[in-house]
């Protein structure tokens, strides 16, 4: 459901590249990040602006394929294509890119990216236990030392604590928007959820982003209370899980909704997963950050139990009728994990499950429509 506060976010996004430039002119440093594992708190504590980097559009892929294998996942190709063409304003503005060794394709791409931008690579462990936690915490220490040197600042414990508080508030604001869809029917479509989550991740001014999201949640909540609806009450409620999705790589969300479904929860790194990284504001900030980020349930983790726990919880909280698992072509970790997830969703949650494997292009739209329409007919 559109409203004035929704439009304000869209308008702010249109001027956002300029806002980042403006902040840079005022002496702010910019830290570009691709992945949810990269701790925004450290960039904030360094007095810098953490921003998402582009990687969700198909048009940067042909340039990337001049260097990268064609069979690689579109997210990696798209991200790298933006770097090659220098067409992402956020990457251009970034003083440094903070990246993580998540999947094989990404970490090798970052080696190539280092020719275009300074890249600080966090070595992400692929298991979630105490050994990994200690190692991951040390990676954060290395990042702190690196940014202190690069930016000539001192990142104190107090600054980290303040950054955690700020980022918690941002997560709560995003959660307030995403939780609107718990209502039946949802006052917000999946495409709108996606657009808000995606666009606010580029805002340089965190406080402004937070107040805009809270305002939107408030407005839409009131409109829903007054009986206005954004989605048909009869539309089957879909939980979309799997790979990250953004504007430009949104076709599956669009198709689900065109075929009559309502995407009520985006359980991915561009959506609800972000809101689940809530941190304790009292304990040792670095340990708390390391723990909460390590807990992010990406398919690169082995085993990856938290993904199943999250889906079980979200399926109940959002009262979903079905689960759709999206995999980008060439994303081996999510593709392999899909078969265990299918078993879990069908047998333990007793919910219908559909896996979709595709890329960013429009070539398979008709084939996808048949699958999605048939799936919706089945509900």
Partner 1 sequence: MYVAGIDVGSVAAKAVVLELLPNGGSQIAGRAVLPTGWNTAEAGEFALNNACEAAAMARNDLRHVTATGYGRIALPFADKTVTEISCHARGAAHLFPRAGLVLDIGGQDSKVISLDIPREAEAGSLDAVRLDASGGTASLGALKSASKPGAVRDFLMNDKCAAGTGRFLQVLSGILNMPLDELGKAAATGKPVAISSMCAVFAETEIVGLLARSTPPQDIAAGVFRAIARRMCALARRIPMQGECVFTGGLATSPAFAAILSDELGLTVQVPHDPQTVGALGAALIAADLCAKKDRALNTQQ
Q: Does 242 bind partner 1 (CB under 8 A)?
A: no
Q: Is the CB of 34 or the CB of 375 nearer to partner 1?
A: 375
Q: Least distance (Å) from partner 1 to the CB of residue 351?
A: 7
What is the footprint of partner 1 within residues 347-366 (CB under 8 A)?
347, 350-353, 357, 363-364, 366
3-state secondary structure of 242: strand
**325 binds partner 1 per the rule CB under 8 A:** no
Strand residues in the chain grouped as ranges (E): 30-33, 49-52, 96-100, 119-122, 237-242, 262-267, 322-328, 353-358
Choice between 110 and 318, CB closer to partner 1: 318
> Cβ distance 323 to 352 under 8 Å?
yes
Residues 267, 296 contacting (CB under 8 angstroms): no
> Taking the complex as a whole, how short is the minimal distance between the CB of residue 233 and partner 1, in angstroms?
17
Q: Does 215 bind partner 1 (CB under 8 A)?
A: no
Q: Residues in contact with partner 1, total (CB under 8 A)?
A: 21
CA atoms within 13 A on the CB side of 132: 15
x/- map, 292-321, partner 1, by CB under 8 A: -----------------------------x
Cis upstream peptide for 166 (omega within 30°): no
Find residue 240's DSSP bridge partners. 266, 324
Smaller CB distance to partner 1: residue 188 or 256?
256
Determine if 374 is a binding residue for partner 1 (CB under 8 A): yes
Give 141 or 258: the residue with its C-beta nearer to partner 1.
258
Closest distance of CB 241 from partner 1, Å: 17
Whole-number CA gyration radius for the chain = 20
> What distance in Å separates the CA atoms of residue 174 and residue 272, rounded to the nearest whole number?
8
Cis check: omega of the bond before 225, within 30 degrees of 0: no
CB of 337 to partner 1, least distance (A): 15
DSSP class of residue 236?
A: P
Query: Is 278 an interacting residue with respect to partner 1 (CB under 8 A)?
Result: no
Angle at 79 between CA 172 and CA 207, to 5 degrees: 25
**Residue 3 or residue 351: which is nearer to partner 1 going by CB?**
351
CB of 236 to partner 1, least distance (A): 10
State yes or no: residue 336 binds partner 1 (CB under 8 A): no
**Measured between alpha carbons, how far apart are the two ends of the chain, in Å?**
24
Closer residue to partner 1 in complex, CB, 154/340: 340
Q: Which is nearer to partner 1, 175 or 371 (CB)?
A: 371
Nearer to partner 1, 321 or 337 (CB): 321
Position 337 contacts partner 1 (CB under 8 A) = no
Question: Is the bond leading into 140 cis (omega within 30 degrees of zero)?
Answer: no
The smaller minimum CB distance to partner 1, of residues 302 and 367, is found at: 367
- In whole angstroms, the minimum distance from the beta carbon of 259 to partner 1 comes to 9
Return all residues near 230 (Cβ < 8 A) that are at least 6 apart: 1, 185, 186, 187, 188, 189, 192, 220
Is residue 257 a contact residue for partner 1 (CB under 8 A)? no
Q: How far is C-alpha 370 from the chain's CA centre?
A: 27
Residue 114 as a binder of partner 1 (CB under 8 A): the answer is no
CA distance 211 to 169: 10
Interface with partner 1 by CB under 8 A: which range of 217-225, 264-272, 308-316, 345-353?
A: 345-353
Residue ranges in contact with partner 1 by CB under 8 A: 321-322, 346-347, 350-353, 357, 363-364, 366-367, 370-371, 373-375, 377-379
């Amino acid at each position: 459901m559109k409203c004035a506060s929704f439009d304000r976010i869209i308008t702010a996004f249109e001027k956002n590249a300029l806002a980042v430039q403006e902040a840079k002119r005022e002496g702010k440093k910019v830290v570009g990040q691709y992945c949810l594992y990269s701790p925004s708190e450290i960039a904030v504590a360094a007095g810098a602006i953490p921003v998402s980097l582009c990687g969700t559009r198909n048009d940067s892929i042909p340039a990337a394929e001049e260097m990268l294998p064609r069979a690689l996942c579109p997210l990696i190709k798209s991200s790298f294509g933006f770097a090659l063409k220098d067409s992402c304003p956020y990457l251009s503005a970034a003083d440094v890119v903070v990246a993580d060794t998540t999947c094989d394709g990404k970490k090798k791409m970052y080696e190539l990216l280092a020719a275009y931008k300074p890249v600080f690579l966090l070595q992400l462990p692929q298991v979630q236990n105490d050994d990994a936690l200690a190692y991951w915490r040390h990676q954060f220490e290395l990042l702190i030392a690196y940014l202190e040197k690069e930016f000539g600042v001192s990142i104190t414990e107090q600054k980290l604590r303040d950054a955690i508080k700020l980022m918690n508030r941002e997560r709560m604001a995003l959660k307030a928007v995403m939780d609107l869809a718990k209502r039946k029917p949802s006052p917000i479509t999946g495409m709108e959820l996606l657009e808000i989550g995606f666009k606010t991740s580029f805002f340089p001014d965190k406080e402004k982003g937070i107040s805009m999201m809270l305002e939107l949640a408030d407005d839409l909540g009131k409109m829903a209370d007054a009986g206005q609806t954004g989605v048909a009450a009869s539309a089957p409620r879909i939980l979309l899980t799997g790979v990250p999705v953004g504007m430009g790589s949104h076709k599956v969300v669009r198709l689900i909704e065109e075929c009559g479904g309502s995407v009520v929860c985006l359980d991915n790194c561009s959506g609800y997963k972000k809101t689940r990284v809530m941190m304790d504001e009292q304990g040792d900030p670095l340990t708390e950050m390391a723990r909460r980020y390590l807990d992010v349930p990406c398919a690169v983790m082995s085993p990856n139990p938290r993904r199943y726990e999250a889906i079980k919880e979200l399926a109940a909280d959002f009262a979903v009728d079905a689960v759709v698992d999206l995999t980008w072509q060439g994303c081996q970790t999510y593709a392999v994990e899909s078969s265990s997830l299918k078993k879990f969703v069908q047998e333990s949650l007793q919910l219908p499950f559909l896996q979709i494997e595709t890329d960013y292009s429009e070539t398979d739209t008709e084939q996808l429509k048949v699958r999605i329409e048939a799936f919706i007919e089945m509900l």
